[in-house]
Amino acid sequence: MLKAIVALAALVASASAHYTFPSLVVNGETTPAWVNVRKTNNFNTQAPVTDVTSLDLRCYDTQTNPTAETITVSAGSPLGIMSDGTIYHPGVVNVYMAKAPGDVDSFAGDGQVWFKVYQISAVTNGGQSITFPAEGVPGVTFNVPKNLPSGQYLVRMEAIALHVAQSYGGAQFYISCGQVNVVNGGSGTPGPLVSIPGVYTGYEPGILININYPIPKNYTQPGPPVWSG
């Protein structure tokens, strides 16, 4: 009986440690869950993606036939992406965007169209310590690049949990895609452009990594550099 209770407690703790990103923050207001963000497969289970070759690495919505409303945000203004709790695990964050050729409602994000606009990396100290500023925060906020051309975009949140990333497939990806209409934009050329899936092999030193022992002397953020505009 005691073993069963312990096992159940461990299962509950494991589930509670997972998270989704169902809301945006625009003009300081958090949007309702799954209104401006496409509902992900894990909206109930909160389970992560672990296969970097899977189509689910893009928006994690292959099973939900998702729809979302598009919300307007000005280039150069803050845009937030919020979890349903906190980013519980130690890890890093990448935020990507992709411009739809027309209406973002029907845009799947196929091809080499994604560029990185924000990241939160790890902080290292030559092997003395490694810390993760994204750990424990409820969400992230960044400024939409001022020179980003006006138009409709997918904005993709990616939190990579690294607590069991010492073996291939151990890194956990928590993902969602919101829909935004960028106004007052500029004439920049975002890049470099990548495909998702395709941007990662799973063998990158920032994805396949033991963060516990020996403590890494440095950390290399996965993905392309940030385009700041």
Q: Is residue 76 part of a domain?
A: yes
Nearest alpha-carbon partner for 37 in 137, 156, 119, 142: 156
Half-sphere exposure of 151 (CA within 13 A, CB side): 19
pLDDT tops 50 at residue 2: no
Is 95 contained in some domain?
A: yes
Q: How far apart are CA 61 and CA 216, in angstroms?
A: 34
Neighbours of 219 (CB within 10 A): 18
Q: Is the pTM of this model over 0.85?
A: yes
pLDDT at 138 exceeding the cut of 60: yes
User: pLDDT tens for residues 127-137?
Assistant: 999 999 999 99
- Non-local (6+) Cβ contacts of 86 within 8 A are 19, 136, 137, 138
How far apart CA 193 and CA 52 sit, in angstroms, is 17
Confidence of residue 210 (pLDDT cuts 50, 70, 90): very high
**Is residue 2 one of the residues assigned to a domain?**
no
Is 202 within the bounds of a domain?
A: no
Whether residue 27 lies inside any domain: the answer is yes
The CATH number of whichever domain residue 155 belongs to comes to 2.70.50.70
Does 15 or 158 have the greater pLDDT score?
A: 158
Determine the structural domain holding residue 105 and report its residue range.
23-195
Within a domain: 138: yes
Average pLDDT taken over every residue of the chain = 93
- What size, in residues, is the chain? 229
| Domain contains 210 | no
Dihedral-angle region of residue 202 (phi above 0 means left; psi in -120 to 50 means alpha; beta otherwise): left
* Of 133, 126, 134, the residue nearest 219 (C-alpha): 126
Domain count, the chain: 1
Give the pair of three-digit tokens for residue 216.
């890494």
The pLDDT, as a whole number, for residue 65 is 86
pLDDT by residue (tens digit) across 96-135? 999 999 999 999 999 999 999 999 999 999 999 999 999 9
Q: Is residue 179 part of a domain?
A: yes
pLDDT computed for residue 66 by the predictor? 87
Q: Which tens digit of pLDDT belongs to each residue from 178-190? A: 999 999 999 999 9
